Amino acid sequence: MKYPVIIHKDEETGYGVTIPDIPGCFADGDTQEESILNIQEAVELYYHGEDISEPPAASQMEDLLNSELYTRDSFLYLADIDFAFIAPKTQRINITVPEYKLIRIDRAAKDKGISRSAFFVDSAERLIRNLSVAKTVGRRQKKSVLP
């Protein structure tokens, strides 16, 4: 899942990463690249031993631009954080798909280099995220027409 993070550089230190959607979770590194690579590990360590059933919702980058966490000396980055570690157990499901659609799905999954199951899950997550964004945009539009 993609999460906006704020990367900042202090004068005499390396780079720090604030993850606004996970308050209290931070990553760092000597370089920008290293700090970005350390985000996944920081999240896993933060949640180690915690009992959570699903990842937190991701903020919109636009909302963070007005946040007190975002300053002139920082920049936003969209980090891909894999939350598979919170519920590593998988469940087998049975679905019915028209054969011609399954062929198209299998081709697309192969092109991406992932399994059919991963393709279904990734597609469902993307749809859920897009629906959430559309719902948020719809609310913002409604608010903007109110006096």
Does an H or E element contain 8, and which? strand 2-9
Mean pLDDT, residues 107-112 taken together: 94
pTM attached to this predicted model: 0.60
Decide the pairing of beta strands 26-29 and 15-18: antiparallel
- One domain, residues 22 and 84: yes
Does one domain contain both 118 and 69? no
Q: What is the pLDDT of residues 71-107, one digit of tens each?
A: 788 889 999 998 888 876 778 899 999 999 999 999 9
Query: What single DSSP character describes residue 56?
Result: P
DSSP string for residues in 51-92: --SSPPPPPPHHHHHTSTT--TTEEEEEEE---GGGS-----
Contact 18, 27 (CB under 8 A): no
The mean predicted confidence, pLDDT, of the chain is 85
Same-domain pairing of 84 and 94: no
For residue 120, give its domain range. Answer: 90-147
